[in-house]
Amino acid sequence: MNFFKQILLKIKRYIFYLVFKFVIKQKGKKFERLFNLYSKFDNFVKIKVQYTDPDYFILDNNKKYKIFPLERIRFYLQGLNARFEILKKEYLLDNIKFNEDDVIIDCGANNGDFYFCFNDKIKYYGFEPSPTVFKNLKHNVYNQNLYQQGLWKNSTKEIKFYINDVEGDSSIIPTKNYSYIENIKTITLDEIISKINKNIKLIKIEAEGAEPEILEGLKKNLSRVEYLTIDCGFERGVNQESTIFECSNYLLKNNFNMICFSKYRTIALFKNNDFKY
């Protein structure tokens, strides 16, 4: 009997999967109507959506959360809090004790998900160079420090940025999978920390392969950083290479230890052995 229940459950999930694939291809108000109807029947889905031309919003627990692109809604199907809890695990945040007024720097902030992994009392600095995605960040994250700039090994007034917002894979490193090129401004982590003029509890770096260059821009103020959590996934350039060796070697030479490695993604957490409060 249990065997047949399992088979029926798999068939049901597959049917829902096919329906979802159809719904996600729709646009505008048609997508809104179909998705909200779909969510009534699929117990897995915990959210509603709203379309206000030209933007899409997730509605969950009185929160109106702006997303782009629409395809990324798959990360939020079980609710916003579920999404943020997953990010906490992926970025290994349970290994860090956070305090009120800790400074967090988010390199590659996207829609702002990482901010909601913390309580409201942190000091958050979010950097997102994509013009379209930055609008989402400004809508979702309030009363914090948000910048439409890229992070790099040096400051530039103009550098090519290869934008792939659909897959969240935009990067300064040239790649073959991009929609268009935008010229952006860049800043270094050293400059950012000098302006903040405080110790940094945590820096998160997710730069689609540009992580080593961002670390190159962190020299004189590296001693003021307690933790770094870095996505070193296979996303660098045309050959889609990992940056784990470059990032690890740089930080190990500067007396950081890798204290944990994510079992979900190619993300490593590093701690500064010389850090002093």
User: pLDDT by residue (tens digit) across 142-195?
Assistant: 899 999 999 999 999 999 999 988 777 899 999 888 989 999 999 999 999 999
Angstrom distance (rounded) from CA 153 to CA 268: 20
pLDDT score, position 11: 87
For the chain, percent of residues with pLDDT exceeding 70: 99
pLDDT score, position 276: 76
Q: Tell me: pLDDT of 1 over 60.
A: no
Angstrom distance (rounded) from CA 56 to CA 275: 43
- pTM exceeds 0.85, yes or no: yes
pLDDT score, position 38: 96
Q: Compute the average pLDDT of residues 47-72.
A: 92
pLDDT score, position 139: 96
Task: Confirm if 244 and 267 have CB atoms less than 8 A apart.
Answer: no
- Please tell me whether residue 13 adopts helix, strand or coil conformation: helix
pLDDT band, residue 275 (cuts 50/70/90):
confident
> What structural domains does the chain harbor?
2-78 (no CATH), 83-272 (3.40.50.150)
Angstrom distance (rounded) from CA 228 to CA 258: 9
Radius of gyration of the chain (CA): 20
> For residue 37, what are its two tokens?
């109807």
Task: Confirm if 31 and 51 have CB atoms less than 8 A apart.
Answer: yes
The mean of the pLDDT values for the chain is 94
Task: Confirm if 166 and 69 have CB atoms less than 8 A apart.
Answer: yes
> For residue 245, what are its two tokens?
């060796």
Nearest to residue 207, comparing CAs of 87, 96, 127? Answer: 127
